Amino acid sequence: MMRLKEYQEDAIKELLTKAKKLIAYPDGKRMIFKAPTGSGKTIMVAEFLKRLCEDKEVRTALSFIWTAPRQLQIQSRNKLEQYYETSRALKCSFFEDLDDKRIDENEILFFNWESINRSDNIYIRENEQDNNLSNIIRRTGEEGRTIVLVIDESHHHATSEISQNLIRDIAPKFTIEVSATPVMESPDEIVSVQLEDVKAEGMIKKAVMLNPGFENILRDRRIQSQLRKQSEELVIETALEKRDAIREAYRKEKTGINPLILIQLPDRRTSLEDAIKDKVIAVLKNKHRITAENGKLAIHLAKHKENLDDIARYDNEAEVLIFKQALALGWDCPRAHILVLFRDWRSVEFSIQTIGRIMRMPEQDHYEAEILNYGYVFTNIETIEIQEDLARDYITVHTSKRGQEYSSLSLLSCHSKRYRERTRLSALFIRIFLEESDAYGLADKVKKKVRGLSVKFISDYKAENIDALAGEIIPGREVLRMGGFDMQKYFDFFVRKNLSPFYPEDRSVGRMKEAIYGFFVQRLKMDYEDVQEGIIQIVLRDKNREHFVNVIDQAKKKYIDDISKREKELEFDGGWEVPAEIGFNARYAIEERKRSIMRPFFNNEHSGIEAAFMTFLDGQEKVAWWFKNEAKNPAYFAVPYEENGDKSPFYVDFIVRLKDGSVGLFDTKAGLTQRVAGPKVDGLRAYIREQDKKGKKLFGGIVTNTDGRNYAGRWVYFDKEGKELSGRLDNWETLIF
């Protein structure tokens, strides 16, 4: 089981609270679960269903039906089966898996919505086996169980008349529709996950940039780009150059991720598809040595498939994948970074579904290198329309560049230290494991002599299928001796099973194995390179396994505590500069600002006091330029401050460069915020004093206007100790440059 993000835990709790209330009503109630692409919708629903089944306030036995479009039910079933692998909380089945042609308690029946809608489908019409959906539902109801219907990706299939009739036939006591873009009308409850929370937790990229480096003109939701006039060959070349830069950034991050370009062909069955495909393949081969033969090109088309095995593996050698739109739904490949679309003689509407395949972060956290925190779209389509969904907030269409008159600031800045170790194990775990093994006395408790290992060592594994590892007790005295390969597979599964709450990705699995091997090397003087098979037998022996699980659990707890403390630390950058470029989405518009260092200046409904302060700065002759800072982003400027014992970054609103070289740091405050800003004032004051001792010419504080309604009064600022801050302005200084 993976460790849930904070927003996921919050959503699951809200889903559970509202679902319990709705299930208690006699009539079938409906709820929408709206969550952005890449937020982990399936995992959240899986955990919600598990808790729903376990909740003592739910006084009815539950059976579940999970429907999905375009074969997505197969992927969903596999994900949930893996999620429930350890807990066995729910059973995941297709029609052919059902016992006695009914859905058992805490069992989920998965099926494809489009196929079930067909009148000739064997599971809808009467058949000799009497195994159709109507009879399955009837038998399930006769057993006294309540049916819960989950409609996955509901926007694709839940609104047609046939679909509505089918829902009525199922007659669920409770229905939950799951989608990034739901369409259900008048639901009884809605649970929403906000895009900002998903980005803040590092699950998805910060934004997707459209044709970066080329000017985009936006008029009435329609975009025309400089790149529209260019050839497919140039579009490919531009995308490959960006891929090379991303690959180099991954190398510096010391991760083996190989970024993938997705080239999407027109979704029409005409000779145009073949012509574009052939042209793309020729360009990739002749100019860039990317071919299917050398493994660098993968193809996923209806009649042409190559190099698709393990395409999602982070170090897979494929650099480019050619596909059509049908691939987009339910396809999960977090190493995909770049999407390429070619002109097909019509405008294309960009939605969150279009860009969904390049939104995910491969390691579920952002990186220090900002280039890795964005997805990229390159296209020569003549006209692009931004759909009114999350895409409008997520796609970067404008670029503002720093003015040439800028001179270096080289300021000390800080940000909250991010630890990817929240979701995976680092080398720190190895040290902690050894410490906990000593505290537990593991070396003295381990029985070192084993006579070989049989599959009886874990009673809930299938002996005949090491890869499946699910569901059967091995009876009696049956002993099946295993060779080194089989033992390694069992050992890997043992490690993965005991990784919870950390996601069982390869790096974390490797860390835990290193910790166990390290124990044998350092405490028992056994070199795993010589006796690796013997070490595995010792660990998995019945009397030893429990001891290793105990030490692992203690080490994980201490590791989580250690990381939680470290997450409150600040990281400092000694040479912060105003960003050279900043991207903005379609909700931003150009605003004329005389002294902004970023040009053009884009605005998205600044607060009244911020807008008034910018106007004030534009009118000051001694101001060379000013920069509007942003919050909660390590790429922007912040000073440290302390509140209730915790250190945090304070992102001041404005950085003002005067013509004499001095720099003002100002944060606009109005009303209540100016009275509770004491700790931030102290942090900014201490920062300015400290940096002035090092030769920096800094000044500033929190700033407000004496006219709190229209901002037509004097501009005043406060740079004294926070304890002197009150609701009155008599100890504030008039701001004069």
Distance CA 566, CA 558 (A): 12
Distance CA 241, CA 226 (A): 18
* 3-state DSSP assignment of residue 536: helix
Which pLDDT score is estimated for 586? 79
- What is the token pair recorded at 6? 């904070």
**For the chain, what's the residue count?**
737
Which pLDDT score is estimated for 155? 58
Q: What is the pLDDT of residues 79-126, one digit of tens each?
A: 899 888 877 899 999 988 888 889 999 999 998 876 665 555 545 555
Report whether pLDDT(534) > 70: yes
pLDDT band at 456 (very low <50, low <70, confident <90, very high): very low
- What is the token pair recorded at 432? 């902690």
Tell me the Cα Rg of the chain: 30
pLDDT averaged over every residue in the chain: 83
- What is the token pair recorded at 337? 């970074």
Nearest to 595 by CA among 626, 621, 616: 626
Task: Report DSSP state, residue 727.
Answer: S
What is the mean pLDDT of the segment spanning 641-665? 93
Domains in the chain with CATH codes? 6-199 (3.40.50.300), 204-399 (3.40.50), 421-566 (no CATH), 572-734 (no CATH)
What is the mean pLDDT of the segment spanning 547-566? 88
Q: What is the pLDDT of residues 712-731, one digit of tens each?
A: 999 999 999 988 887 788 89
Helix and strand numbers (H, E) in the chain are 20, 33
Which pLDDT score is estimated for 218? 66
- Cα 690 to chain centroid distance, Å, stands at 38
Least confident of 121-130, 146-155, 539-548: 121-130
Distance CA 446, CA 516 (A): 12
Report whether pLDDT(327) > 90: no
Alpha-carbon distances, residue 719 vs 60, 667, 716 (angstroms): 63, 11, 10
Alpha-carbon distances, residue 444 vs 304, 435, 547, 670 (angstroms): 60, 14, 11, 65
Nearest to 143 by CA among 155, 135, 153: 135
Task: Report DSSP state, residue 631.
Answer: S
Distance CA 559, CA 537 (A): 26
Strand order from edge to edge, sheet including 216-219: 216-219, 222-225, 384-386, 348-350
Stated as kind and residue range, the H or E segment containing 44 is helix 41-54
> Which stretches of 143-226 are DSSP H helices?
161-170, 195-200
Q: What is the pLDDT of residues 173-212, one digit of tens each?
A: 999 999 887 877 788 999 999 988 999 888 999 988 888 8
